[in-house]
Structure 1
Amino acid sequence: MLDDALRDILALSAEFAALTSTDDRFEARTDAPGYVYMRRGSVGFSVPYYLAPVWPSNKTLAAIEDVLPLVRMSDGSCFCLSGSSTFLGVVSSISDIDCCEYFLGDGNALFTALEHTSRNTTESCLLVTYKIKGRDEGVKKQRPFGLNGGIEVFLESNGIQNYDDLQSLKLDFVASLSGFGVLAVTNLVVPMSDALDEQGKISFQYQEAVAHCDTSAPLRGLVQPADLGRYLCFLVDDAKSYIKQAHEAAGAGRHTDTFTFAVKSLKRMMSWLVIIDPDGNWGAIADELNNHHVQAFASAKRAEEARSLLDTIGGEIHPESVRRLRREIPTFALSRINEKEASLMLGLADDTWTKVQDMSSRPRGEAT
Structure 2
Amino acid sequence: MKQVNVGILGATGAVGQEMIKILEERNFPVASLRPIASARSAGSKIMFRGQECTIVEASDDAFEGLDIVLGAAENDIAERFAPSIVKAGAVFVDNSSAFRLDPNVPLVIPEINPEDVKWHKGIISNPNCTTIVTLVAINALAKESPIETIIASSYQAVSGAGKGGIDELNNEVKALSEGKHLEPKVFQYQIAYNIIPQIGGEAFEGYTSEEMKMQNEGRKILHLPEMKVSCTCARVPVIRSHSVSVVLRTKEKISVERAKELIANAPGCKLVDDLKNKVYPMPLDTSDQDIVYVGRIREDLTDERGLNLWCCGDQVRKGAATNTIQIAELLLK
Both proteins in one fold, TM over 0.5: no
TM-score, structure 2 as length reference: 0.24
- What is the TM-score with the length of structure 1 in the denominator? 0.23
